[in-house]
């Protein structure tokens, strides 16, 4: 058994990194003992023992007088031992600079992090047109794609889609009925609005953009389930992206309503909008949650570190990335199309949601 602190263990990790780099594919001839000695400055004993033990573990096949060859597993093409020798390709999710301006950057990075940590090989992030060109040369290319970000390449993509592709489907995108992973926003939003109702709130504002229709649907379902009236004047749905100035205007209008028609809680379709709304509440000399409760959506890092920690709906973006890798490996293993995998969003209760003033839940 190799102990973690031995030179053999260290050399094994270095050779596994070589396999994961995509430099060697299953069936390729690997370094000789002398090449390993020169490259990693180890003794002949260390090189020989490491190759021997990795051969026993299923990474290599050693052929007399021919050399050491990368050995594939029987179950997953491209895998050697516990690592993949084939790189995985991810398309860049839109213009990177624009993506970094809001929660979209956060969710893309979380999904990517899940993919990179779960995939036992090299992950390459490339523009979609480069992936298409690579797929023309290698139909077996391994890809995980964000389809709602590649409309410009839709025609090429549909005609040259690699066989081993898993799609990340984020609402409102529908995409493929198979080989995909998507979040289920509905239950998380339903639980969030239901929590407000259990706290005694009856006039609950909805603020969101038109394309967040699943969040809006869950808001309506929660009100209907609890047999509450939906007040049209408390529903704000904007066609364009919502800015901080927009939120200031909405907050000013809502917080100046007469006391008997003023809302006591707000659900916002993103944490960014919710945090802006909380700032606007303070500008009006009011406080969260004593005067009005606020809930967001996305669970961005700032939501937890806000002056009043924001109650929010957490979408398991990191887990979506990990699950996409699991589905991809299963598809490679079976060669079959797989049904969609749904991961539910979860309500995270913090201090920005409290009982209606003067009432107790």
Sole residue written with tokens 């699943």: 214
At 4 the pLDDT is 54
At 358 the pLDDT is 62
Tell me if 297 sits within 8 A of 339, measured CB to CB.
no
Superfamily of domain 186-315 in the CATH hierarchy: Response regulator (3.40.50.2300)
Q: Do domains 88-184+317-344 and 186-315 have the same CATH topology?
A: yes
Q: Work out the angle between the directed axes of helices 186-198 and 213-225 (0-180°, nearest 10).
A: 40
- Edge to edge, the sheet with strand 293-295 lists 235-238, 204-209, 265-268, 293-295
At 153 the pLDDT is 56
β-strand 180-184 against 204-209: which pairing, if any? unpaired
Return the closest-CA partner of residue 295 out of 308, 280, 309, 310.
Answer: 310
Beta bridge partners of 90: 125, 144
Return the closest-CA partner of residue 201 out of 342, 20, 360, 324.
Answer: 360
At 223 the pLDDT is 97
At 355 the pLDDT is 96
Work out the number of other CB atoms within 10 angstroms of the CB of residue 13.
11
Return the closest-CA partner of residue 82 out of 16, 3, 142.
Answer: 16
Tell me if 325 sits within 8 A of 119, measured CB to CB.
yes
At 106 the pLDDT is 79
Beta bridge partners of 295: 267, 311
Q: Which tokens hold the place of 28?
A: 């390729």
β-strand 235-238 against 204-209: which pairing, if any? parallel
Read off the pTM: 0.86
CATH fold, domain 88-184+317-344, is Rossmann fold (3.40.50)
Q: Round to the nearest angstrom and report the end-to-end CA distance of the chain.
A: 59
We find that the CATH architecture of domain 7-84 is: Orthogonal Bundle (1.10)
Give the span between the Cα atoms of 38 and 41, in whole angstroms.
5
At 1 the pLDDT is 44
At 82 the pLDDT is 93
pLDDT values of the chain reduced to their tens digit, one per residue, 361 residues? 444 558 889 999 999 999 999 899 999 999 999 999 999 999 999 999 999 999 999 999 999 889 999 999 988 989 999 999 999 999 886 544 444 445 567 788 999 999 999 999 999 999 888 888 888 888 888 999 886 655 555 566 666 667 788 888 887 666 677 899 999 999 999 999 999 999 999 999 999 998 889 999 999 999 999 999 999 999 999 998 899 999 999 999 999 998 888 999 999 999 999 999 999 999 999 999 999 999 999 999 999 999 999 999 999 999 999 999 999 999 999 989 999 999 999 999 999 999 998 654 4
Q: Which tokens hold the place of 171?
A: 């609402």
Domains of the chain, residue spans: 7-84, 88-184+317-344, 186-315
At 197 the pLDDT is 97
């Amino acid at each position: 058994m190799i102990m973690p602190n031995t030179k053999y263990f260290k050399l094994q990790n270095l050779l596994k990194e070589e396999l994961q780099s995509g430099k060697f594919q299953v069936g390729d001839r690997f370094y000789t003992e002398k090449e390993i000695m020169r490259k990693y400055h180890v003794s002949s004993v260390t090189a020989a023992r490491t190759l021997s033990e990795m051969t026993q573990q299923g990474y290599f096949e050693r052929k007399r007088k021919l050399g050491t060859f990368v050995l594939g597993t029987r179950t997953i093409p491209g895998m050697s031992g516990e690592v993949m020798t084939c790189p995985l390709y991810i398309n860049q999710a839109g213009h990177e600079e624009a993506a970094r301006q809001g929660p979209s950057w956060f969710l893309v990075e979380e999904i990517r992090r899940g993919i990179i940590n779960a995939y036992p090989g090299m992950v390459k992030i490339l523009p979609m047109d480069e992936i298409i060109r690579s797929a023309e040369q290698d139909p077996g290319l391994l890809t995980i794609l964000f389809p709602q970000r590649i409309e410009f390449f839709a025609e090429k993509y549909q005609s040259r889609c690699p066989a081993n592709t898993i799609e990340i489907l984020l609402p409102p995108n529908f995409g493929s009925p198979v080989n995909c992973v998507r979040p289920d926003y509905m239950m998380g939003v339903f639980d969030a609005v239901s929590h407000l109702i259990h706290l005694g709130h009856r006039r609950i504002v909805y603020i969101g953009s038109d394309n967040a229709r699943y969040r809006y649907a869950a808001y309506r379902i929660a009100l209907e389930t609890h047999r509450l009236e939906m007040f049209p004047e408390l529903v704000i749905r904007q066609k364009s992206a919502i800015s901080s100035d927009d939120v200031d205007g909405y907050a000013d209008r809502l917080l100046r309503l007469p006391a008997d028609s003023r809302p006591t809680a707000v659900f916002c379709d993103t944490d960014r909008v919710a945090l802006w709304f909380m700032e606007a509440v303070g500008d009006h000399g009011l406080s969260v949650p004593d005067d009005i409760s606020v809930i967001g959506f996305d669970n961005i890092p700032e939501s937890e570190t806000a002056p009043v920690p924001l109650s929010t709906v957490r979408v398991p973006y990191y887990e979506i990335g990990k699950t996409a890798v699991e589905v991809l490996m299963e598809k490679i293993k079976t060669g079959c199309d797989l049904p969609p995998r749904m991961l539910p969003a979860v309500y995270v209760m913090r201090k920005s949601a409290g009982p209606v003033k003067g009432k107790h839940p």
